[in-house]
């Protein structure tokens, strides 16, 4: 169990402390440059929509998913009875839908980005999403799938007492 907790901590830290702030800086660079160097309106609108979707994903993970996963591992490590306040599997499904939407949005932006110079920071943002973001999110999703295969539950844990009560009905 401890190895799972350590790997979860490492991936969460890399995503929240390195990847997400790096992407935020890249968004800022693209949108700041737009004030100086006109960029096609449709492209900027797509970048803004991508940023909104990214912020939503980031908030779900940082405020709900990641803390709940770490709470679960800490409870299991201390052998206490874990009862999650959120259904991590349902949240993870939501996150994966958001990741797929982001992937689609980045593909659309990549087509539009052909209209701007090759050294425009938008190309670095696209690269980051298509490579670094996808890579780190795949690592996370593989870990979640591995935990599920090994019966590390992410749904609200039912105690033996609760289980007897459910079967009585």
* Helix (H/G/I), strand (E/B), else coil: 102: helix
Residue 64 lies in a domain: yes
Instruction: Determine the pLDDT at residue 35.
Output: 87
Residue 40 lies in a domain: yes
Q: How many residues does the chain have?
A: 169
Q: Is 58:99 a contact under the CB 8 Å cutoff?
A: no
Residue 112 lies in a domain: yes
How far, in Å, CA of 108 to CA of 103, rounded?
9
Residue 83 lies in a domain: no
Q: Is 156:150 a contact under the CB 8 Å cutoff?
A: no
Residue 156 lies in a domain: yes
Instruction: Determine the pLDDT at residue 58.
Output: 97
- Quote the radius of gyration of the chain (alpha carbons, Å): 20
The answer to pTM > 0.85 is: no
Which of 98, 144, 107 lies closest to 129 in space, CA to CA?
107
Mean pLDDT of each 10-residue bin along the chain, 169 residues long: 73 96 97 90 96 97 89 71 71 91 97 93 97 93 81 46 36
How far, in Å, CA of 135 to CA of 68, rounded?
22
> Domain limits at 69?
2-78+88-168
Number of domains making up the chain? 1
């Amino acid at each position: 169990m401890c190895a799972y907790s350590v790997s979860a901590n490492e991936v969460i830290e890399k995503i929240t402390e390195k990847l997400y702030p790096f992407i935020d800086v890249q968004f800022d660079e693209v949108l700041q440059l737009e004030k100086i160097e006109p960029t096609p309106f449709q492209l900027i609108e797509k970048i803004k929509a991508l940023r909104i979707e990214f912020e939503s994903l980031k908030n779900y993970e940082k405020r709900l998913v990641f803390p709940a996963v770490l709470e679960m591992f800490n409870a299991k490590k201390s052998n206490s009875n874990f009862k999650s306040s959120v259904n991590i599997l349902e949240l993870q499904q939501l996150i994966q839908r958001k990741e797929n939407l982001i992937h689609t949005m980045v593909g659309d932006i990549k087509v539009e980005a052909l209209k701007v110079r090759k050294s425009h920071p938008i190309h670095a943002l696209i690269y980051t999403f298509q490579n670094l973001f996808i890579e780190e999110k795949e690592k996370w999703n593989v870990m979640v799938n591995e935990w599920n295969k090994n019966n590390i539950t992410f749904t609200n844990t039912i105690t033996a007492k609760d289980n007897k009560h459910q079967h009585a009905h």
